[in-house]
């Protein structure tokens, strides 16, 4: 049972904007630990999309953006494209568990 | 170019032992933590533990402590994940990944391609 909660699925038409929430607590997101996002197409290696709440690694399109407030964070995808259809996971560190934790995962469907 | 290349898929029977590998290249292998992540069929990502190849310091998730053993051979830039007695419930895809960032709030910046482990009862 993950300590980071995400909606199971979100969907949008091509070109639209979708957001994925990640809700944690005061021992992870709320403690100030960085919140990171990954894109995962089943059968392939997960890909780092956002690190330290808002930063994009080189090569990640600026259509992807992250934000954080209190004990929650969000990933926004603007200008949704067919290739964005994948599973998305948030990840942080939890000081109560002394463990790295992943969110429950969100499947993004492009209609 | 940073690369993590994992060993191939394995099919085993319950009770058998197994050791899978993750070979790093394109960076100083001894200076970065390596993590292992499990994905069971149809499920999400689970952190299993991390190892620092420089001195083999290891931290396990409480969920995996005693269930698996992590090790590393820095002479060949390879990390390992092993089981002494597999169970059907160990059937999953296993990923290794390099950790980056400021301790303890690391993130996983490069990932291996995954090793599928199938255990039949």
pLDDT > 90 fraction of chain B, expressed in percent and rounded: 96
Cβ contact B78:B24 at 8 Å = yes
Beta-carbon separation of B101 and A97 below 8 A: no
Nearest to A46 among B45, B46, B105 (CB): B45
Q: Return d(Cα B9, Cα B20) in angstroms, integer.
A: 9
Cβ contact B86:B119 at 8 Å = yes
Cβ contact B82:B10 at 8 Å = no
Q: How do the pLDDT tens digits run along chain B, 121 residues long?
A: 999 999 999 999 999 999 999 999 999 999 999 999 999 999 999 999 999 999 999 999 999 999 999 999 999 999 999 999 999 999 999 999 999 998 889 999 999 999 999 999 8
A–B interface: beta-carbon pairs under 8 A: 71
Average pLDDT over residues A39-45: 90
pLDDT exceeds cutoff 70 at A1? no
With cut-offs at 50, 70 and 90, classify the pLDDT of residue A108.
Answer: very high
So what's the pLDDT on residue A2?
A: 77
Beta-carbon separation of B106 and A100 below 8 A: yes
Reported as a single tens digit per residue, the pLDDT across B12-45 is: 999 999 999 999 999 999 999 999 999 999 999 9
Q: Is A38 on the interface with B (CB under 8 A)?
A: yes
Cβ contact B4:B96 at 8 Å = yes
């Amino acid at each position: 049972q993950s300590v980071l909660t995400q909606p199971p699925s979100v969907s949008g038409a091509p070109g639209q904007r979708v957001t994925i929430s990640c809700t944690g607590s005061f021992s992870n997101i709320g403690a100030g630990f960085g919140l990171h996002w990954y894109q995962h197409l089943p059968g392939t290696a997960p890909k780092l999309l956002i690190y330290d709440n808002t930063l994009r690694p080189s090569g990640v399109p600026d259509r992807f953006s992250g934000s954080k407030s209190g004990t929650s964070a969000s990933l926004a995808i603007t200008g949704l494209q067919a290739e964005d259809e994948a599973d998305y996971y948030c990840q942080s560190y939890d000081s109560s568990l002394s463990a790295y934790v992943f969110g429950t995962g969100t499947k993004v469907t492009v209609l | 170019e940073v690369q993590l290349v994992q060993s191939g898929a394995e099919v085993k029977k319950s009770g058998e032992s197994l050791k899978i590998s993750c070979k790093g290249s394109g960076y100083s292998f001894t200076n970065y933590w390596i993590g292992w992540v499990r994905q069971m069929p149809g499920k999400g990502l689970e952190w299993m533990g991390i190892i620092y190849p420089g001195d083999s310091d290891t931290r396990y998730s409480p969920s995996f402590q005693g269930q698996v053993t992590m090790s590393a051979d820095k002479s060949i830039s390879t990390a390992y994940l092993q089981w002494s007695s597999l169970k059907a419930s160990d059937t999953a895809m296993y990923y290794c990944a390099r950790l980056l960032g400021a301790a303890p709030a690391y993130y996983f910046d490069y990932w291996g391609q995954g090793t599928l482990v199938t255990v039949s009862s």
